Structure 1
Amino acid sequence: MKNKLLFYLILSITTLSIHAQGITYHGSKHYNIKVNQFNKEGSLPDNAIVMLGDSHSEYGNDWNRFFPNARMIFNRGIIGDDSRGIFKRLNQILPYKPSKIFFECGTNDLSHGWTVERIFQGVVNIIETIRKSCPQTKLYVQSLLPLNEKIGAWKLLKGKEDMIIQLNERLKNYCNSNNLVFIDLYHPLLGTNTKEMHHEYCRDGLHLTNKGYEVWANIIRNYINE
């Protein structure tokens, strides 16, 4: 009887251990669809340029339209993604040693109610992982974008303009101290209000219009072409 109980105890522990080892990051339905899509698309070609981030990157759709001479830009943005989700899917990008990565992240982390410090550390974790795994890849760290609550208020981001500014400043200082390129998307997208995205660039209080993406593309054009 004792041996039987011992057997079931060991079996239970082993089963729990196996399940624990199999636990992975569980994103939204859209996150999982996109990750599966990227898996099906397979490896990235040599000299690929990657737009890595959240909805701001994904809604850019085919970034090649802005840069006809590039033709090698791959959109790896996912709507709703945060620093945890992006970190978990770096294995779809880094093994292929892309020539350039344009990285933006942080807005959805803010919507979780996280502190500036926690978000900053999550973003830096991704940056450091990219640098260690792909030292030859040119990494461009892009700022968070402004909001416009007059056009549309996002409940989980309401009143967090100052946190966006703080995060951008932390990221800028980090990049300056670590010989990284920091790209300021925030200020070129502002209107007359120093904390508010220009109404022509903002379609819903958070995301960009076509004009907004044209501004973004013009900001990074020299980096794409260099």
Structure 2
Amino acid sequence: MYHGTKHYDAKVRQFQREGRLPDGAIIMLGDSHSEYGEDWNRFFPDVAKIVNRGIIGDDSRGILNRLNQVLPYKPSKIFFECGTNDLSHGWTVDRTFQGIVRVIETIRRNNPDTRIYVQSLLPLNERVGVWKLLKGKEDMIIQLNHRLEDYCIRHSLTFIDLYTPLLGDRSKTMREDCCRDGLHLTAKGYEVWADAIRAYINE
């Protein structure tokens, strides 16, 4: 039995109340990075309904637990990002990778016609703000991104690199105009993200 945070439980109840997803929906599935994107339709006014299914603080276990709120409605596309909170829990790169893969394989097994876009983890910026549980884990983020990209290549999935376009002049460091607290994105950061996925949203 999975036990989430109060925010997780509240969001799951909210999604339950919202009920059925639109036919052919595009799902933004992930953690705070997705949730803080709010209404993703503002970036893509000419496409079908984009539904935000991000939850602040969520990890691969929580996302796996709530796939039953997404998969029965057979979304056309899922843009999936996960892993930052798993690392913040003290998980190894390998354990985090395995958790993410479990989610991906569950989606593929249950919804073979849904297109999955696996998005990378984002860089940090400790000059803007330090997240104690992520401090010093820049290299783990890079390693995890490499493993996810390799997995996607081997399984003919689309991997979207959000990490590189968000980097600034300093290695392993998010652009300061894109980073509001060392981890999360500014409005400019979300514009960079939207540009990175635009071709995949439209295809």
Which TM-score band applies after superposition, normalised by the shorter structure? over 0.9
**Counterpart position of 2:73:** 96
**Counterpart position of 2:102:** 125
CA distance in 2, matches of 1:197, 1:154: 14
| Structure 1 residue 193: Cα displacement | 1.0
Q: Per the alignment, in what secondary structure is the counterpart of residue 177 of structure 2?
A: coil
CA distance in 2, matches of 1:33, 1:71: 27
| Structure 1 residue 194: Cα displacement | 1.7
TM-score by length of 1: 0.89
1:37 matched to 2:2:
no
Deviations 1:103-123 (A, max 9, x none): 000000000001000000000
Match of 2:193 among 216, 220, 224: 216
CA distance in 1, matches of 2:173, 2:144: 16
| Structure 1 residue 153: Cα displacement | 0.2
Match of 1:177 among 147, 154, 159: 154
Amino acid across the alignment from 2:178: Y
Amino acid across the alignment from 2:186: T
- Closer/same/farther in 2, CA of residues 78 and 97 from structure 1, 3 Å limit: same
Match runs of 1:138-157 below 5 Å: 138-157=115-134
Amino acid across the alignment from 2:28: M
Amino acid across the alignment from 1:184: D
Q: Per the alignment, in what secondary structure is the counterpart of residue 12 of structure 2?
A: helix
Q: Residues 15 and 69 of structure 2 are in contact (CA less than 8 Å); yes or no, is this contact kept in structure 1?
A: yes
CA distance in 1, matches of 2:108, 2:171: 33
CA distance in 1, matches of 2:171, 2:45: 33
CA distance in 2, matches of 1:38, 1:128: 23
**Counterpart position of 2:202:** 225
Match runs of 1:1-226 below 5 Å: 24-226=1-203
CA distance in 1, matches of 2:25, 2:90: 34
| Structure 1 residue 70: Cα displacement | 1.6
Q: Determine which structure has more spread, i.e. the larger CA radius of gyration.
A: 1
Q: What are the ranges of 5 or more consecutive residues in structure 1 without an aligned counterpart?
A: 1-23
Amino acid across the alignment from 1:120: F
CA distance in 2, matches of 1:168, 1:117: 11
Amino acid across the alignment from 1:118: R
Q: Give the alignment's Cα RMSD to 1 decimal.
A: 0.5
How many corresponding residue pairs?
203
Amino acid across the alignment from 1:193: R
CA distance in 2, matches of 1:90, 1:176: 24
Q: Residues 25 and 48 of structure 2 are in contact (CA less than 8 Å); yes or no, is this contact kept in structure 1?
A: no
| Structure 1 residue 71: Cα displacement | 4.3
CA distance in 2, matches of 1:78, 1:208: 15
Q: Runs ≥4 in structure 1, deviation > 6 angstroms?
A: none
